[in-house]
Structure 1
Amino acid sequence: MTIVIIGAGIGGLTAALSLRQAGFRDIRVYDRVAELRPLGVGINLLPHAVRELSELGLGERVAELGTAPGTLAYFNRYGQPIWREPRGLDAGYRWPQLSVYRGRLQLALLDAVRERLGADTVRPGHRLTTVEHGPHTDVACFDTADGEVRVEAGLVIGADGIHSALRRQHHPDEGEPVWNGLTLWRGTATVPAYLDGRTMIMAGDGEQKFVAYPVGAPDATGHARVNFIAERRTGGTGGASADWNRAVDPAPVLDLFRDWRFGWLDVPAVIAAADEILEYPMVDRDPIDRWTHGHSTLLGDAAHPMYPNGSNGASQAILDARTLAYHLATAPTTEQALAAYEADRRPATTALVLSNRRQGPEQVMVLAHERAPGGFDDIHDVIPAAELTEIATGYKRAAGFHPDALNTRPSLTPPDPAR
């Protein structure tokens, strides 16, 4: 069976590798850009995603790209502690949490695809225009510099992101991504290591927030490369401008955070040290009631774009890819496999999209601000310990990475990949 994947991002490339592991051979990946380049700044891969990459034989390769945070800590906008928990191996997982550059991860996956599937598997310069559905196969139609290209396939996978052409074909009236009024500024900077050098921090509330985490170990001078996200409710542009690579002047962002100095972290100094600042609105899309049409389905941000609360976007795309490949390898027919894939993944990701709209695990910062806007002496006077624990634990269950469940869940590697 010929399988066509639209999009050479993290989800699409993981799908290609997973399908190859599952025994499929005729796999082609198409991307609209003429040249694949590393884009974006830092992302977090949660343990459930690292497990899947490890089971693809990529665990060590990915681990070399970044660093493993040992702690996640939430603070209010004054730097007062709200909640702290261990992460990754320190939390009892069998797999670490990894902080990596998105572009470096994408290129590592691209190299693995070319090694395992062949150098010509990924074909840039192909913009999907439509998918024609037939009784037994679908035809993906592309616009290229040399004219139209038509590819017949037993399965077409739309992994083409939040502006997915395949999704738009079946939801033409959906419009632009939904903006919640928050604007994000992302960057990386080399700054003095803070706290223990292995902590991911989130400080602020529902109106303004700062996130930082190291993407490398401290050097001999005590400095570390840090990825950060500064966030503020603004009157800026909406979902039509969702672009992960729009550089802006750092001065206005610095002004918004000029008073955020916590003693253990100087937020304005981190922003000022950035190589560049990338801006985009916080957007998602409303969940849809169907991903599959004919012999085509959606995956990753094309299926369920979500707010980045909880660090789950890339991780969920990886889970999609692995789940789809597993069902295609084990179900009697493609139709049954696609139905099983949707049954596994669509309800789970729908719940996650909606949870992230309520701030996900970052809800603890919102509650702290609502109940004690001027700060507090002891967080447990504001939010009981049991309530904090339930928010953190509940999100892990919803996102599929509670340690007890993840450590004991059966593998998504097909038991018999020969096909």
Structure 2
Amino acid sequence: MSTDNTADIVIAGAGIGGLTAALALHARGIGAIVLEAADEIRPLGVGINIQPAAIAELTALGLGEAIAATGIPTREHRYLDYRGRVLWAEPRGSRPGTPARSTPSTPMVDRDPLPSWGRGRVTLLGDGAHLMYPIGANGASQAILDAAVLAAELAAPGDTPAALRRYEAARRPATTAIVHANRDMDDAERAIAVGRDENKAGAIAGITRNYRAVVEQRHGIN
């Protein structure tokens, strides 16, 4: 699948990051060709979590009402054991969402952070740049933030290679920190899983607090 225009920018992949990049570029008056191996984009029947910083970027692109109409606001953050028992819970979001009916198991797959994302007029974003454990529910959100920064840099004065290097300088340290934070969270949760139940709630609260601090620091949230 590709768009029917003669833009100078080619985006390989119509995933969350690729489509957000195309929209962000369009909003700045920059056209792009989007290439996708699939003949059509279909719903996969799964849900993802989008963090507030990424929601803000999508809202700025005019998608706020569509997200509100189709998304499910987060109601609560829960940690459950393998029997489905709640070990720790924390309210989230501004209004109730839909309670989960099952406890899914997600494979933990990531990749060591790359020393660079490209050269010349080529760069990466999203999972291609920083595949991370899904445990932090941050992969899609980081792809959206990549797209927003990439569009901003490409719209700035100067040549394309310099814009791509600025984009990488802005995003690679942040995503590297989050990749490592996701790993640390996974290691900590595995250690907690074999501990005594009465000690788990406080330990999980500490893990969540530490992870949130890393993410907020990288997003410039005070």
Pick the TM interval, shorter chain: 0.7 to 0.9
Q: Does the 8 Å CA contact 1:46/1:88 hold for their aligned counterparts? A: no
**Is 1:335 the counterpart of 2:161 in the alignment?**
yes
Match of 1:230 among 100, 105, 115: 105
Q: Give the 3-state SS of the residue equivalent to 2:79 in structure 1.
A: strand
Match of 1:66 among 71, 87, 92: 71
Q: Distance in 2 between matches of 1:12 and 1:227?
A: 31
Q: Distance in 2 between matches of 1:346 and 1:61?
A: 30
What's the RMSD between the two structures over aligned residues?
2.8
Q: Distance in 1 between matches of 2:111 and 2:210?
A: 23
Match of 1:15 among 5, 16, 21: 21
Q: Does the 8 Å CA contact 1:327/1:340 hold for their aligned counterparts? A: yes
TM-score (ref. length: structure 1): 0.47
Q: Does the 8 Å CA contact 2:75/2:98 hold for their aligned counterparts? A: yes
Q: Does the 8 Å CA contact 1:367/1:383 hold for their aligned counterparts? A: no
Q: Does the 8 Å CA contact 1:8/1:30 hold for their aligned counterparts? A: yes
Structure 1 residue 342 displacement after superposition: 0.9
Q: Distance in 1 between matches of 2:148 and 2:132?
A: 19
Q: Give, as a single letter, the amino acid of the residue that structure 2 aligns with 1:53.
A: L
Structure 1 residue 319 displacement after superposition: 0.7
Q: Does the 8 Å CA contact 1:72/1:87 hold for their aligned counterparts? A: yes
Match of 1:6 among 9, 12, 17: 12
Q: Distance in 1 between matches of 2:87 and 2:169?
A: 37
**Is 1:284 the counterpart of 2:110 in the alignment?**
yes
**Is 1:366 the counterpart of 2:201 in the alignment?**
no
Q: Does the 8 Å CA contact 2:10/2:32 hold for their aligned counterparts? A: yes
Q: Does the 8 Å CA contact 1:396/1:402 hold for their aligned counterparts? A: no
Q: Does the 8 Å CA contact 2:21/2:151 hold for their aligned counterparts? A: yes
Q: How does 1:2-151 map to 2 (within 5 A)?
A: 2-24=8-30, 26-89=31-94
TM-score (ref. length: structure 2): 0.83
Q: Does the 8 Å CA contact 1:7/1:30 hold for their aligned counterparts? A: yes
Residue 395 of structure 1 aligns with which residue?
A: 211
Q: Give the 3-state SS of the residue equivalent to 2:148 in structure 1.
A: helix
Q: Give, as a single letter, the amino acid of the residue that structure 1 aligns with 2:193.
A: H
Q: Give, as a single letter, the amino acid of the residue that structure 2 aligns with 1:49.
A: A
Structure 1 or 2: larger strand share?
A: 1
Q: Does the 8 Å CA contact 1:21/1:56 hold for their aligned counterparts? A: yes
Residue 318 of structure 1 aligns with which residue?
A: 144
Q: Distance in 2 between matches of 1:197 and 1:73?
A: 13
Q: Does the 8 Å CA contact 2:88/2:201 hold for their aligned counterparts? A: no
The 3 A distance-change label for structure 1 pair 297 and 81 is same
The 3 A distance-change label for structure 1 pair 38 and 384 is closer
Q: Give, as a single letter, the amino acid of the residue that structure 1 aligns with 2:151.
A: A
The unaligned stretches of length 5 or more in structure 2 are 1-6
The unaligned stretches of length 5 or more in structure 1 are 91-195, 200-212, 214-225, 232-280, 409-419
The 3 A distance-change label for structure 1 pair 228 and 42 is farther
Structure 1 or 2: larger helix share?
A: 2
Q: Give, as a single letter, the amino acid of the residue that structure 2 aligns with 1:303.
A: A
The 3 A distance-change label for structure 1 pair 390 and 228 is closer
The 3 A distance-change label for structure 1 pair 338 and 400 is farther
